[in-house]
Structure 1
Amino acid sequence: MYGKKAIKREIYQIIIPMILENILQISANLVITAMVGRLLANDISAQGICIRITDTLWCFYKGVAIGATVLIARAYGAGRHQECRKIAEQTMLTELIIVLIFQVVLYFQAPLFLGFFSKDAQILSLAQGYMKTIVFGFPFVVIMTVVTASFQGYGNTKVPMYIAVLMNVVNIVCGYCFIFGAFGVPGMGIKGAAAALVTAQAVGACTGLYLLYKKKGGLFRKMPAAHRFFSFDRRCIYDIYTTGIPAALESMFWQFSAIILSKVILFYGNQAFAAYQLGIQAEEITEMPAIGFSTASTTLAARAIGRQDEELRKIYFKELLKVGVVISSITSLLLIFLPRFFMTLMTDKPELQAIGVVYVFVMGFIQIPQNLSRIYNGTIRAMGYKNAPMLVAGFGIWIVRIPLCMLAAYVLGLPLTAVWLIIAVDQVSRFLLSAVLYYRINKKRERAIQTV
């Protein structure tokens, strides 16, 4: 028998540091966004279209790292500790090679990609400067995702939280100096925001590597390498990427849709797009406690599966759902009743606040289904159904969100609020599909166990 108090304690030991990490990370992003929000609408739009591209790449890095987290958690649960180091290092090596290609292409061909979003010469000029700075942080982002995956696979979410504290302090301090100019540093506008972020990423990556490999207290200190870092293990790489790529595609679907959606919203004008970017950041304030649900459910389910303990997996799942409902209910009420407060934090421009308030209000009604979907999909992935969460995301985005948004804007000429409502319908449809898939998979597993 499992003590529910012990199970809850284990869940909270994993999820609370993740919540704090997300709060710190998003808070820093919000501070930087608020700083940029004090600049001109063109600056906000320029940063926004760059973020659409860089976030798409981040989804790839993070998705592959999720594959590493699943495999590390299973190996750790089964007691194969040396395998954990190999998985982490193979992930890091292969991703660094891939990211080098992304860096070169985006640095030299930035106008080609940025031109998809806007034809405004001033916005494109600002965006190009931002992009040519931010690409230098790509290797650091890869290292950080692998470091985080390694610690989370072990169930240690405190170390990534501490690294996030350090990164955010660096990002905020450097952001203020580089954006507006201070302490002898000239103000660089959104180029300064990019430079501050790269600096913070470099500090975080170096700190993460130190904590992985330091002689005293490092995560891999008791696990001498069974292979050379610059050698390739084809089987290990295959397992990492076949598990991680579906997770990456799931997130990249959203990013691709965000690119198209950005184009749709720009149809309503630059101010509409700038308000949308700020509205997303405002919504993230209340998403901070829930973002860790997906990783927590994946880690805990994979660990239980590694131990071959089906009952423990089910208990983890049920307790996570309870926590998810409580937290999501609170965040939902905050967005519904205080949308103007959140938008005021983002910008002092009334015209942008007015547009963003409606977006934030609508998003308040989908917090519960959106956050519970993360728990369902994280557990489904850990159960070995790598492609299911990706297919769910694909259905919601490409069957519901994108076609209906394009129809509303380009064909029917509906107001911008219709786009916000379609986004909400997409999230609800994905939640329902995830729930149905989970219970079907669960029944299938139960039948398989009974026949063994």
Structure 2
Amino acid sequence: MYGKKVIKRDIYQIIIPMILENILQISANLVITAMVGRLLANDISAQGICIRITDTLWCFYKGVAIGATVLIARAYGAGRHQDCRKIAEQTILTEMIIVFVFQVVLYFKASLFLGFFSKDPQILSLAEGYMKTIIFEFPFVVITTVVTASFQGYGNTKIPMYIAVLMNVVNIVCGYCFIFGVFGIPGMGIKGAATALLTAQAVGAGTGLYLLYKKKGGLFRKVPSEHRFFSFDKKCIYEIYTTGIPAALETVFWQVSAIILSKVILFYGNQAFAAYQLGIQAEEITEMPAIGFSTASTTLAARAIGMQDEELRKVYFKEQLKVGVFISSITSVLLIFLPRFFMTLMTDKPELQAIGVVYVFVMGFIQIPQNLSRIYNGTIRAMGYKNAPMLVAGFGIWIVRIPLCMLAAYVFRLPLTIIWIIIAMDQVSRFLLSAGLYYRINKKREQTRNTV
């Protein structure tokens, strides 16, 4: 009934631009990380503890945007274009209010949160300077994530890719200028990295809004608005946040665990923590396709459900699993056999490379389960089981990762390598739960359809 070529075309039209976007995004992060990696270990640690906090907030914005993507994709599949615009605008409006609260708290009480990670006055001083700069990017991050959600909900992933190109170029150029100081610009170290990212996010947000509303070809230009922008639609807001908050909490769980895990790794010393930060960035090189499949599975499943075509949803899902296994196998081999290559890209310091190489090597063995679990979770969420992926993440993190890591470090004082192995165990446990849950839900849906 469904030609494989057509199905694969639909998948790749969404996922290839997303992979390219992620390549560009992660490449820019790698370049900035490599620049910071040429600074002192305290600079790397200071940036790392700030990233733990800002990434937790980013997870909230992104989670709500995932909720918006699901709802926009369903509305688009059902032909309700006015609802697509309303969902996007209500998301921006409400998130801006939340963002303002975050900004005020972190600007005046940054030391309260940063002090959880370290008592070193030099690291805290560097981190506070970074934090008081980076918080001004929050509104721009919200706009960019919602713009991306809007285009992805329509199945258009090229525009977010173009925006990512622009943002990454700005980030790299400004990063080099602001971190090291060129053309008469004074070098600002990690504060320069924050300023560069702020500049890039502002450019991305402005470009995104223009592409949504421009007179010719704007996504929402030909869609008449049924409501005023500064008015609240309670029903729409409820749907956005009840769909998005579980997705946000799923990722926030990981970020909170990363905060606790950072504290555990700092138990092994500042160099261990700095190497861990660089290892994460190295691992992200191989996560680019996986991130694309996560969003693609959500978008395609939601669109098929909006069209009330269950068979199409299943075909999309099966094809994504096949491609996911193929790509993950390649990235797994790269991490297992070339860990030193990836760490050399991150830093020129042998002592950090030695620690990071072990982390990257261990992570190579979990690429397939880690990446496929995202396809399962994205599909489960689109099928209407909003809380299921969050509960799976909660189990892996709070039952496996955090308790075992704390026992290994504080009670048994085991080597750092055991921490990396426990992280891998967490990912495998989540994959098994996600797969089992998906097939149970799928069987239940089949029984319901047969009864009707």
Instruction: Using structure 2 for the length normalisation, give the TM-score.
Output: 1.00
How far off its partner does 1:189 sit? 0.2
Separation in 1, partners of 2:377, 2:286: 20
Structure 2 distance, partners of 1:448, 1:78, is 22
Cα deviation 1:106-141 (Å, max 9, x = unaligned)? 011000000000000000000000000000000000
> Distance in 2 between the 1:121 and 1:207 partners?
39
Q: 1:442 — aligned with what?
A: 442
Identity of aligned residues (%): 90
1:389-447 Cα distance to aligned partner (Å, 9 max, x none): 00000000000000000000000010000000000000000000000000000000011
- The separation in 1 between residues aligned to 2:291 and 2:242, in whole angstroms, is 23
In structure 2, the residue matched to 1:366 is: 366
Distance 1:191 1:19 in 2: 29
SS of match in other structure, 2:22: helix
Query: What TM-score does the superposition give when structure 1 sets the normalisation length?
Result: 1.00
Aligned equivalents of 1:294, 1:335: Cα separation in 2: 21
Partner of 1:280: 280
User: Aligned runs of 1:315-330 on 2, under 5 Å?
Assistant: 315-330=315-330
| Deviation readout 1:160-189 (Å, 9 max, x if unpaired) | 000000000000000000000011110000
Shift of 1:15: 0.2
1:302-347 CA deviation, whole Å, 9 max, x = no partner? Answer: 0000000000000000000001000000000000000000000000
Give the match for residue 305 of structure 2: 305
**What is the distance in 2 between the residues matched to 1:287 and 1:141?**
21
Q: How many residues align?
A: 452
> Per the alignment, in what secondary structure is the counterpart of residue 187 of structure 1?
coil
Q: Which whole-Å CA distance do the structure 1 matches of 2:447 and 2:234 have between them?
A: 34
Give the C-alpha shift of residue 287 in structure 1: 1.2
Aligned positions of 1:18-37 closer than 5 A: 18-37=18-37
Aligned pairs (5 A) from 1:104-253: 104-253=104-253
Shift of 1:224: 1.3
Cα distance in 1 for residues equivalent to 2:284 and 2:438: 26
**Structure 1 position 376 matched with structure 2 position 376:** yes
Separation of aligned partners in 1, 2:90 and 2:277: 35
Stretch moving more, 218-227 or 309-318: 218-227
Give the deviation of 1:10 after TM superposition: 0.7
Q: C-alpha displacement at 1:94, in angstroms?
A: 0.1
Q: Tell me by how many angstroms 1:289 deviates.
A: 1.9
Give the match's secondary structure for 2:130: helix
Mapped to 1, the partners of 2:325 and 2:190 lie a distance apart of 38
1:10 is matched with 10
Q: CA deviation at 1:450?
A: 1.1
Deviation at 1:222, TM superposition (A): 1.2
Aligned mates of 2:74, 2:66 — CA distance in 1: 12
Output the CA distance in 1 between the equivalents of 2:446 and 2:285.
39
Supply the distance in 2 between the matched residues of 1:426 and 1:118 (Cα, whole angstroms). Answer: 26
- Aligned-pair RMSD on alpha carbons? 0.4
Q: Distance in 1 between matches of 2:97 and 2:295?
A: 25
Stretches of structure 2 that go unaligned for 5 or more consecutive residues are none
Of residues 284-293 and 221-230 in structure 1, the stretch that sits farther from structure 2 once superposed is: 284-293
Runs of 4+ off more than 6 Å: none
Q: Offset at 1:105?
A: 0.4
